[in-house]
Amino acid sequence: MHAFLLTGQTSQKRREWITHKLDEWKINQFDKRELTPSESSIGIDHVRQFQRSLITGPSAAIIWQTELLTPQAQNALLKTLEEPPRHTRIILETESVDVLLPTIISRCTVINLGTSTTSSLDQQQNWLKEWKKLASCSIGKQLQSINTIVTTRVDAQHWVLCGIETLHQDIIINASPEVIRRLLRARTQLAANVTHKLVIDLCILG
């Protein structure tokens, strides 16, 4: 079976698992195709476009946040899972399998990384430390750090959402309205499919 359904742990841990597997399979960035949600759901048109990108037979095809697939989009994906291109491994990354059709799950090897050992509070505290460190750096250092924070749109979405959650918690009593405004703007821009690198640059640099 060439289709894998990856769940469990945090989104960061799942990304790390996928990165490790791609390295293990010796698959480079030019030999993979990715479907990353740019809206609140992944529709059938997105899946059709993704399927067309597989005609060239890439070594890996990844769908991020598979739980956002509409039922129609999931049904459209079934044929690809049943008969993927000969040398293509398909990875479906998801927060939860509960919203996926049984027919999707049955066509995949399910890999559950287990329960997260990092609490939400830990993630928020780590985000806060990271933001304070960035705020104290020169612009040059900030730009260098941005490249390590986000490498994909999924990274950017996770980082922005974690920041918004953090600033709504009591661990930051005097949260800057300007920082909150930047993060909310970044969330909107990412949903509108603005280049994720530019979005994070603007969010951090102001």
Tens digits of residue pLDDT in 98-132: 889 999 999 999 998 876 555 566 777 777 777 77
Place of tokens 């997105």: 46
Q: Is 196 exposed, middle or buried (0-12, 13-18, 19+ CB in 10 A)?
A: buried
Contacts for 23-30: CB closer than 8 Å, 24+ residues apart: 25/59, 25/60, 25/89, 27/59, 27/60
- Give the CB-side neighbour count of residue 19, counting CA atoms within 13 A: 9
* Two structure tokens written together for 186: 């970044």
What's the pLDDT at 65? 93
What's the pLDDT at 189? 85
Nearest residue to 166 (alpha-carbon basis) of 130, 114, 202, 204: 130
Radius of gyration of the chain from Cα atoms? 18
What's the pLDDT at 35? 95
Matching CATH number, 3-112, of 3.20.20.70, 3.40.50.300, 3.30.9.90, 1.10.3720.10: 3.40.50.300
Tell me the pTM. 0.58
Tens digits of residue pLDDT in 179-194: 878 888 888 888 777 8
Q: How far apart are CA 31 and CA 29, in angstroms?
A: 6
Low-confidence ranges of the chain (pLDDT < 50): 170-173
What's the pLDDT at 54? 94
What's the pLDDT at 144? 76
What's the pLDDT at 156? 81
* Two structure tokens written together for 53: 């990108």
